[in-house]
Amino acid sequence: MTLNEIPANVLLEKKLCHGAPFYVLGPIVTDIAPGYDHITSAIGGALAASHGVDFLCYVTPAEHLRLPTLEDMKEGIVATKIAVHAGDLGKNIKGAKDWDDEMSLARQQLDWEKMFDLAIDPEKARRYRKESMPKDEDSCTMCGKMCSMRNMNKVMKGKDINLLREED
Ligand code: SF4
């Protein structure tokens, strides 16, 4: 089902079934991505959830290809949990945004342990950082000295930043 068809289908089903809880698999929003159907379904699931779907079935990357492995199942479950949370945010469910706000604060503070604790998959987040450690704790290897958090925090403390200077 394409993205633009999801909201009307959800509203119609909820109306015809007098608001009864609605459970969907996906919807998978494009059929061109075998091996990535946990993503195609999470995209549709997030939109469906934000429009009133109550329960999402998880889809693994192995969908249409083979029986899923344990790792496939983990990827599918994590992708679906992300879709559920995105749906809760879209519906403005009380308290849903607190999680994101806490993560935003941890990011601004460059508090890596807090970010790992809050991550939907702490093991993966921790592993990725460990695999590519920056020279200093106050950034990551994506932007290094150009880290906007690092530099904004320094500016907020009144420091003059010149990224061409070695010590900055
Ligand atoms: S270096 Fe870039 S990607 Fe990494 S934390 Fe800073 S802003 Fe984010």
Task: Kindly report, residue by residue over 63-85, the tens digit of the pLDDT.
Answer: 999 999 999 999 999 999 999 99
The reply to whether 8 and 25 lie within a common domain is yes
- Measured in angstroms, how far is the CA atom of residue 63 from the centroid of ligand 1? 34
Question: What's residue 133's pLDDT?
Answer: 95
Please tell me whether residue 30 adopts helix, strand or coil conformation. Answer: coil
User: Mean pLDDT of all residues in the chain?
Assistant: 95
Q: Of 73, 90, 107, at which residue does a domain stop?
A: 90
Q: Of 70, 90, 110, at which residue does a domain stop?
A: 90
Query: Percent of the chain having pLDDT more than 70?
Result: 100
Q: Is residue 167 part of a domain?
A: no
Q: Is residue 166 part of a domain?
A: no
Whether 10 has a pLDDT exceeding 80, the answer reads: yes
Q: Of 52, 68, 90, at which residue does a domain stop?
A: 90
Residues of the domain holding 77: 3-90
What confidence tier does 27 reach under pLDDT thresholds 50, 70, 90? Answer: very high
The reply to whether 35 and 104 lie within a common domain is no
Whether 167 has a pLDDT exceeding 80, the answer reads: no
**Reported pTM:** 0.92
Q: Which of 21, 72, 27, 23 is nearest to 46 (CA)?
A: 27
Task: Kindly report, residue by residue over 35-70, the tens digit of the pLDDT.
Answer: 999 999 999 999 999 999 999 999 999 999 999 999
Whether the CB of 143 sits within 6 Å of ligand 1: yes
- Measured in angstroms, how far is the CA atom of residue 138 from the centroid of ligand 1? 9
Span 152-168, mean pLDDT?
86
Which residue among 107, 110, 114, 147 is best mutated to probe the pocket of ligand 1, counting the most ligand atoms within 8 A of its Cβ?
Answer: 147
CA–CA gap between residue 101 and residue 75 (Å, rounded)? 24
The DSSP-derived string for 59-126 is --TTTTTS---HHHHHHHHHHHHHHHHHHHHHTT-TTHHHHHHHHHHHHHTT-HHHHHHHSSSHHHHH
What confidence tier does 162 reach under pLDDT thresholds 50, 70, 90? Answer: confident
CA–CA gap between residue 57 and residue 38 (Å, rounded)? 11
Whether the CB of 109 sits within 6 Å of ligand 1: no
The reply to whether 69 and 109 lie within a common domain is no
CA–CA gap between residue 59 and residue 4 (Å, rounded)? 21
What confidence tier does 160 reach under pLDDT thresholds 50, 70, 90? Answer: confident
Question: What's residue 138's pLDDT?
Answer: 87
What confidence tier does 164 reach under pLDDT thresholds 50, 70, 90? Answer: confident
The reply to whether 81 and 14 lie within a common domain is yes
Burial of 49 (0-12, 13-18, 19+ CB in 10 A): buried
In the chain, the amino acid numbered 17 is C
In the chain, the amino acid numbered 82 is I
